[in-house]
Structure 1
Amino acid sequence: MPVNSWPAGEAAARVPHTGPVSGVPVVVVGAGPVGLTAALLLARRGVGVLVLERYAEPYVLPRAVHLDDEVFRVLQDAGVADVLVAHTRPMAGLRLLDGTHRVLAEFRRDPAAGANGWPQGSFVHQPDLESVLAAAVAAEPGIELRRGVEVTGLRQDDGGVAVITRDRTTGEDRSVHAAAVVGCDGAGSTVRGLIGARMRDLGRADRWLVLDVRSDRPLGLWPGVHQVCDPRRASTCMPVTGDRYRWEFRLLPGETAADLAGRARLGELLAPVVPVEGVEVLRAVEYTYRAQVADRWRDGRVLLAGDAAHLSPPFVGQGLGLGLRDAHQLAWKLAAVLAGEAGDDLLDTYQAEREPHARALIRVALLLGALMTGGGRGGAVVRRAVLAAVRRIPAVARLATDSRTPPLRRGLLVERRGRAGRRLAGTLVPQPEVLVEGLPCRLDDVLGDGDAELTAGLLVRRADGTRVQVEDPSGTLTAWLRGATVRIRRDRIVGSARGTDRP
C-alpha cells in the first residue's frame, strides 16, 4: 500500500520545517553520509549549515553496504528515504557456511516493512546514498557545501568557534566563525585530534581484503549475507544492488592485499562461489577493522559523530548506522541549544546517551565475529554444535540480525517511573502505517518536528498544540502502548510513559 508523506485535510496538515536562521551557522566537517545527513537534519530544524569537505570530488567507490530500518527512519526525517529506497534492495538475512560452503545456519529477515516502517535490513551502494544526500543538500537553501577545503585549526570563545581552513587548491587560509562544529570527518578525524580526544580500543584490529566487483551476468547468490566460517580463511560475500557484489577475506599474518589481488589468486578465492571470468574488480584493498570508541565526543561547542567517535567491525553491519543515529540525536539537541530552548548542558546528554549504544553494538560485532570466524579447526567443530542449538532459541538467534537501539538509561531526558515508564521509557516508538482521516501515512510524519505525546486513545498532541487522531489498523501501536500514554522526543525515543500498563 502506498504511504503518503502526509494525508490531506486541515486537521492533519503537516507543520512545515522552519527556514534557515540568519547569523552564524553550524560548521559540519566531512561530506560523507553522516555529515550530509547531519546537515539536512539541522537545516530542517532551522539551523544554517556550512559543510566543509577536504576532497574536491565525492569518493566514487563503495564502502558501507547496509542500512537497517531504524536508520531509514533517520533518512526519512532528513527527507531522502523515499528517493533512496529505489536504490536499495531488502536483505534476506544471514547465512553461516562452513569451509565447503554448506549451510550451518540461516537467520532470515523479513523483506517487508516491519515495526519501523521500512525493511529490517537493506543493501545499498554507498555512492548512490551519497548522491541522493548531495542532491538534497544542493536543493536546501540553508546549506552551503564547500569542497577542497580542509580544517587546520579551531579556536573557541564565548561567541562560538573560529574554524581555520585551508583551500587545498590555492593554499589560501581563511577563518570561519561558527555557532558550533560537528566533526563527521571519519576514522582519521582532524576534528577529533584538534580537541585532544583519543580512540580507545575495545578489541584487537583485524585485517581483511575487501573486494567490490561487478558481474556481467547474475551470479545467483542468495539475497543475503554469506559468512563463511572457514578456519583456514574466514570470508564474507553478498550481492549488493544491481550488478554489484562484495567479497571480504581475512588476511593471514604476513599477507597483503597485493598478494591476493592478482587474477589467479582471485580466481582461487572466488571459485567456491563463481568463476572469475566476467567479474570486473572495482576495488581490491586491505582494510583494518577496528573496535574503538573516542574517550570524549565533545569539547564545548565542538562535537564528534560517526567514525570520528567510534569504529565497529563489520559483523553486524552497523558502522554507518551508528553514525546516522548520532546525527539524528545530535541535530535536535544542537538545534534546541542554538534556538535558546535549552542550555549547553543538553549537549552533555549526547555522549551519555549515544556511547552506551555504540559500545553495545561494537561488542556484539566482536562477539559474533569471534563466534563466526575464530577458533581454528577446533572452533569449527564447536561452532557446528552450538549453531544447531542456537537455531532453536529465537532470542539468541535474533542477535545475528537484530540491530535495535537498546533502551536508553534513566537520565535527564529519560524518566523511568511506574511500570509503563520502566517498560517503555528510553525505547524507540514503533512506526507502523497509521490512518489519519482515512488516509495512510507514517507515524513519524504525524508526530511532527518537535516533542509529541501519544495517548492510549491514539491521539497525537504535537509541540505546536495541534491534535491529530490516528487509527492503528495493524494493532501494532495499541499492543505496544498497552494502555499507556507516552511523551516522544524529537528523535522518536520515549522520554516518559504513564498510565495503565496491563501485565
Structure 2
Amino acid sequence: MSGAPVVVVGAGPVGLTAALLMARRGLSVLVLERQPAPYARPRAVHLDDEALRALADAGVAEAFLRASRPMSGLRLLDGRLRTLAEFRRSPSAGAHGWPQGSMFHQPDLEAALLAAVAAAPGIGLRTGVEVVGLARDGGVTVRPSGGGEPSDLPAAAVLGCDGANSTVRGLIGAAMTDLGRPDRWLVADLRSAAPLPVWNGVHQVCDPHRPATFMPVAGDRYRWEFRLRPGESREALAEALPALLAPAGADGAEVVRVAEYVYRAQVADRWRAGRVLLAGDAAHLTPPFIGQGLGLGLRDVHQLAWKLAAVLTGAADDRLLDTHQAERAPHARALVRLALLVGRLMTGGGVGGAVLRRALLAAVGRVPAVAAFATDSRTPPLRPGPLVVRRGRAGRRLAGTLLPRAPVAAGGRRCPVDDVLGHGAARLRLLAPGRVAVRPAGGAEVAVADVDGVLTAWLRGARATTVVVRPDRIVASAR
C-alpha cells in the first residue's frame, strides 16, 4: 500500500463515518471540507437501526443514542389533523438492539463524529479547502476556499462524500439520472421550552391542498414541512407560517430556521472512476417520505470501507471496487422509488385521491400485517453478485440481508454478536437451540450462547444452519 492517505471529500456525517471506518481498518485518511466550520443548522432528523450499524462500527453509536430519541411510529392525518391511520413502533429494541427508528439533531451527530475523528489516530482534517481537480495517477488538487494558489495532495484513493452538489461527481464525469420530478417544500425548524401538544411520532398530513409533515425531533426541537404549490413563493408561505402551525398548537414556538428544499429523486449514472468513488448524496438523492436520506449514505460507506481497505492493503485487487456501484446503486434506486411511491400514496391524487385514501386507510389500519410492514425498518436485500450468493432456500431467504445484532454470551461476558465477529468476514453455525459457533476470519471457532434466542429463530426461520457474514455484517451466503 502506498504511503498516501485516502482522501475523503466532505466532512458531513457520511464522510466522517467513512474516515472512522477506514481508520479502524488501518488506513491513513485525510478529510477535506470546503466550509471553515461545521454547519450549525439541522438537516437529517431520522436514522433507522440498520444504518446505525455503520455508526456502531465507527465507534459513535452510544454518543448518537445519548443525543437522540426513539421514534414512536407514523400517523397519517387528514387536512383537519384527524387521524386516518396510525402505525406504532415499539420503543423497545429491535433486531439490532436499538430502536427501529431514532430522531436526532444533525449537528449533535456531527459533533460526536468530529470528536471521534479528533481522537482517532491516522485521520487528518483540513477545513476551508476546496477540491478543484483530480490527478489520473492518484491525488487531488485543492485550493483554500478564500482564494490563493492551488496545491496538489497525493491520495491512495478518493471518496466523494461532498453532497448533492458534489464537485467530485463532476470531476469524474458522472451525472444524476432522474427517477421522479423534483418537489418543492418549505421546512421550518422550531424550538419550544414547553413540550408541544403533539404525539411523539411522525405526522404525515395527507391533504392534497397542502401536504405537510411534522414531528418532534430531539430535546426541545421540532420540524414542520409544507409542500409549496406550483408558482408559490417561499416568502409567501413563510408569511403564512403562524397560521399553518396553529392547528397543531405550535404557533407560539420559536422558529429557528425557515428554508426551501427541493426534494429530488436521483441516482448517479457512474459511481467510480478508478480509485475515485462516490457515496452519500453525491451518488443519490431521495425524497424524505421513508426517512432514508442519511441512512443510504451510511450504508454506502459501511459497505465500501472494508472493500477499499482490502484493495489498498493488497488483500484484493481493484476488481473488488466494481461491486460498489453494482451493489449500492440498485439498493439506492429501490429505496428512492419506494419513497416516491409512498409520497404519492400519502399526498397525491387531488380531492378524489383523498376520499379513496381515507377509505383504504380505514381498512389497512386494522390489518396487523400491513401495520407491521409500515413500521418495519428492514430495507431490501442486496442483489446476487460476486459477494452475495443466493442459492438454495436458506440463501434465497438470507443472502444480501443484514445479520441481526443479537446479544450473545462468550467467555463469561454478554455482548453483541458483532463484538465476536471481529472486523473481517466470519462464519456462524447453529449448534443447537440457543448455541451458535462463531468463526472470525483467521481465528478459531468459538461457541457462544444465543442469549435471547434471536439468532436461533433467525436461522431456523430460513431453514439455515450456517451463514457466511461479510465485514459489513451482510450475509454473503447461507445453507
User: Normalised by the shorter chain, which TM-score bucket?
Assistant: over 0.9
Give yes or no for the alignment of 1:242 onto 2:219.
yes
Q: Deviations over 1:405-425 (max 9, x none)?
A: 312222111112222222221
Partner residue of 2:280 out of 282, 306, 314? 306
Equivalent-residue separation in structure 1 for 2:91 and 2:412 (angstroms): 26
Equivalent-residue separation in structure 1 for 2:154 and 2:43 (angstroms): 33
Residue correspondence of structure 1 range 114-125 to structure 2 within 5 A: 114-125=94-105
Determine the structure 1 residue equivalent to 2:134.
154
Secondary structure, aligned partner of 1:315: coil
Determine the structure 2 residue equivalent to 1:376.
350
Q: Name the CA shift for 1:248/1:203 in 2 (closer, same or farther; >3 Å).
A: same
Determine the structure 2 residue equivalent to 1:389.
363
Secondary structure, aligned partner of 2:75: strand
Secondary structure, aligned partner of 1:24: coil
Secondary structure, aligned partner of 2:85: strand
Q: How well do the aligned residues superpose, as a CA RMSD in angstroms? A: 1.3
Partner residue of 2:44 out of 59, 64, 85? 64
Give yes or no for the alignment of 1:459 onto 2:434.
no
Q: Deviations over 1:100-141 (max 9, x none)?
A: 111000111121111011110000100000000000000012
Residue correspondence of structure 1 range 58-207 to structure 2 within 5 A: 58-157=38-137, 161-207=138-184
Equivalent-residue separation in structure 2 for 1:85 and 1:241 (angstroms): 11
Preserved CA contact (<8 Å) 2:409 2:450: yes
Equivalent-residue separation in structure 1 for 2:366 and 2:272 (angstroms): 44
Structure 1 unaligned regions, length at least 5: 1-20, 499-503
Partner residue of 1:272 out of 226, 241, 247? 247
**Counterpart amino acid of 1:420?**
A
Q: Deviations over 1:243-295 (max 9, x none)?
A: 10000000011112211223xx2211101101522x11111011000000000
Preserved CA contact (<8 Å) 2:174 2:268: yes
Q: Deviations over 1:287-326 (max 9, x none)?
A: 0000000001011110000000000000000000000000
Determine the structure 2 residue equivalent to 1:16.
none
Preserved CA contact (<8 Å) 2:139 2:157: no
Equivalent-residue separation in structure 2 for 1:162 and 1:38 (angstroms): 18
**Counterpart amino acid of 2:304?**
L
Preserved CA contact (<8 Å) 1:315 1:365: yes
Preserved CA contact (<8 Å) 1:316 1:403: no
Determine the structure 2 residue equivalent to 1:257.
234
Determine the structure 1 residue equivalent to 2:31.
51
Q: Name the CA shift for 1:216/1:411 in 2 (closer, same or farther; >3 Å).
A: same
Runs of 4+ in 1 over 4 A off after TM superposition: none
Preserved CA contact (<8 Å) 1:361 1:403: no
Equivalent-residue separation in structure 1 for 2:304 and 2:250 (angstroms): 46
Partner residue of 2:18 out of 38, 41, 52? 38
Determine the structure 1 residue equivalent to 2:471.
490
Equivalent-residue separation in structure 2 for 1:185 and 1:468 (angstroms): 42
Equivalent-residue separation in structure 1 for 2:75 and 2:397 (angstroms): 33
Query: TM-score scaled by structure 1?
Result: 0.92
**Counterpart amino acid of 2:326?**
A
Equivalent-residue separation in structure 2 for 1:77 and 1:295 (angstroms): 29
Q: How big is the shift at 1:230?
A: 1.1
Preserved CA contact (<8 Å) 1:316 1:401: no
Structure 2 unaligned regions, length at least 5: none
Preserved CA contact (<8 Å) 2:205 2:213: yes
**Counterpart amino acid of 1:227?**
Q
Equivalent-residue separation in structure 2 for 1:198 and 1:121 (angstroms): 32
Equivalent-residue separation in structure 1 for 2:147 and 2:446 (angstroms): 55
Equivalent-residue separation in structure 2 for 1:220 and 1:45 (angstroms): 47
Equivalent-residue separation in structure 2 for 1:215 and 1:22 (angstroms): 52
Preserved CA contact (<8 Å) 2:100 2:377: no
Q: Name the CA shift for 1:356/1:396 in 2 (closer, same or farther; >3 Å).
A: farther
Preserved CA contact (<8 Å) 2:197 2:248: no
Preserved CA contact (<8 Å) 2:49 2:377: no
Equivalent-residue separation in structure 1 for 2:416 and 2:115 (angstroms): 23
Q: How big is the shift at 1:170?
A: 4.8
**Counterpart amino acid of 2:338?**
V
Q: Name the CA shift for 1:147/1:196 in 2 (closer, same or farther; >3 Å).
A: same
Secondary structure, aligned partner of 2:452: coil
Q: Deviations over 1:209-241 (max 9, x none)?
A: 000011121103111000011121000000000
Equivalent-residue separation in structure 2 for 1:43 and 1:275 (angstroms): 44
Preserved CA contact (<8 Å) 1:28 1:50: yes
Q: Deviations over 1:361-417 (max 9, x none)?
A: 111111110010111111110001111222234444344333423122221111122
Would you say how many aligned residue pairs link Structure 1 and Structure 2?
A: 472
Equivalent-residue separation in structure 2 for 1:72 and 1:124 (angstroms): 12
Equivalent-residue separation in structure 1 for 2:89 and 2:42 (angstroms): 23
Equivalent-residue separation in structure 2 for 1:449 and 1:131 (angstroms): 25
Preserved CA contact (<8 Å) 1:114 1:432: no
**Counterpart amino acid of 2:75?**
R
Partner residue of 1:349 out of 323, 334, 340? 323
Equivalent-residue separation in structure 2 for 1:43 and 1:317 (angstroms): 28
Equivalent-residue separation in structure 1 for 2:316 and 2:2 (angstroms): 19
Preserved CA contact (<8 Å) 2:430 2:466: yes
Q: Deviations over 1:36-71 (max 9, x none)?
A: 000000000001000000000100010000010011
Equivalent-residue separation in structure 1 for 2:24 and 2:228 (angstroms): 44
Determine the structure 1 residue equivalent to 2:203.
226
Partner residue of 1:432 out of 406, 414, 433? 406
Percent of counterpart pairs with the same letter? 69
Secondary structure, aligned partner of 1:223: coil
